[in-house]
Structure formats: C-alpha cells, structure tokens
Amino acid sequence: MSTESFEQAVATTRGVLANVSADQLHNSTPCESWDVSELINHIVGGHVFFLAGMNGTPPAEPSDFAAGDYMAAYDEATAATIAAFGVEGALGKMVKMPFGEMPGAAVMGLATTDTFQHAWDLAKATGQDSDLAPELASALLSASKQSISDAFRGPEGAPFGNEQQCGDGASNADQLAAFLARTV
C-alpha cells in the first residue's frame, strides 16, 4: 500500500485552502459547529493529530493555525504526516490512537477521508467548486461504505451523523459528503 491516495487528498485540500480569503474565515461551513477558521484549525490540527499517533507521541495542544500562516502550517504538518506514513513498515504496525488501536494503514485511511471531506466542506463554505478529485472521491465513498456502519452514526457524540440524501447525478464528492452526513 502506498501513500498515493493520501497525498492526492492532501493536494486537493491544499488547492482549496489556498483559495480561502481572510474575509471568509468566519463563513459558516457544512460542519455545523465550525466556521471556516475553526475548520482550518481542524484540518491542520488533524494532520498534527495523525502524525502524533504514527510517531507514538501524545497529541499536541490545539493551536489557532487560522490566525497565522495556515498554508505554511498545513504544508509543514502534511509533509511530516506523509513522511510518517511512508516509513517502511508504518502502515502495517499497530498504532495507538485516543479512540483505539489500529493498523497504520487504517489510520492513513481515516486521515485520507477526513482530509478530503474537509476540502469539500471548505469549498462549499467559500464558494469554490466542490466537485473534487472524482476518482478519489469514488474510492473513498466505496471504502467508507465498507467501514462505517450504523453503529458509528447518531446524534452528538457519535463519530458520524446519519447519511443524508443527494440527488441523482450528484458528483462523487457530493455522494461522499452525503454519506458522511453532510447536507448536499
């Protein structure tokens, strides 16, 4: 297994992130409890979180990445995370995360889906094209349908809300978003 899909999700998200302007930082997002600034903090902080898991270190304290050069923070965090996933044997080793122990490949799968989905959220919140990386979106939708059961869905506190409907002809990215509980 390679880091190719993860790297594609990182690049896709970077493209969306690079087109966020300062006057959009307080726009609402499809993630109901976050504005754009908070979503950027989650995106960058997510990579710091996954990196800590892969390195076996405690997660860092939350930072306000959006208040500074969030592009530089994103680039630094994603480069380190790509490197951590790329270490020989990293994807086969068991990784302790706050929510349980899992193979490194599963951690990378979570990171890939989280990164890509939040690119869609950010695109929607900032008026950008949200039909992102159709082939990657299709692969992530297929993987998500295999790994996210109803046991992981529900109201506040559950990792995922309930699947939402999307219209016929919806893009792969929209279908993934709806499966991951976004209103499309």
pLDDT digits (tens, 9 = 90+) for 93-145: 999 998 889 999 999 999 999 999 999 999 999 999 999 999 999 999 999 99
The mean per-residue pLDDT over the stretch 56-65 comes to 90
Residue type for 89, please? G
In a domain, 182, yes or no: no
Beta-carbon count within 10 A of 102 CB:
15
Residue for token pair 């109901």: 32
In a domain, 175, yes or no: no
CATH number of residue 100's parent domain: 1.20.120.450
pLDDT of 128 reads 99
In a domain, 77, yes or no: yes
In a domain, 19, yes or no: yes
Contact 59, 48 (CB under 8 A): yes
Domains in the chain, number? 1
State pTM to two decimals. 0.95
Range of the domain at 117: 4-129
Confidence grade of residue 149 (pLDDT, cut at 50, 70, 90): confident
Judge whether residue 183 has pLDDT over 90.
yes
In a domain, 90, yes or no: yes
Distance, in Å, from the CA atom of 38 to the CA atom of 117, rounded to the nearest integer, reads 15
In a domain, 89, yes or no: yes
In a domain, 176, yes or no: no
The mean per-residue pLDDT over the stretch 59-64 comes to 88
pLDDT of 174 reads 98
CA distances from 63 to 24, 57, 70 (A): 19, 17, 11
The Cβ-side half-sphere exposure at 132, using a 13 Å CA radius, reads: 30
pLDDT of 99 reads 84
Judge whether residue 157 has pLDDT over 80.
no
Instruction: State what percent of residues in the chain have pLDDT above 70.
Output: 100
In a domain, 67, yes or no: yes
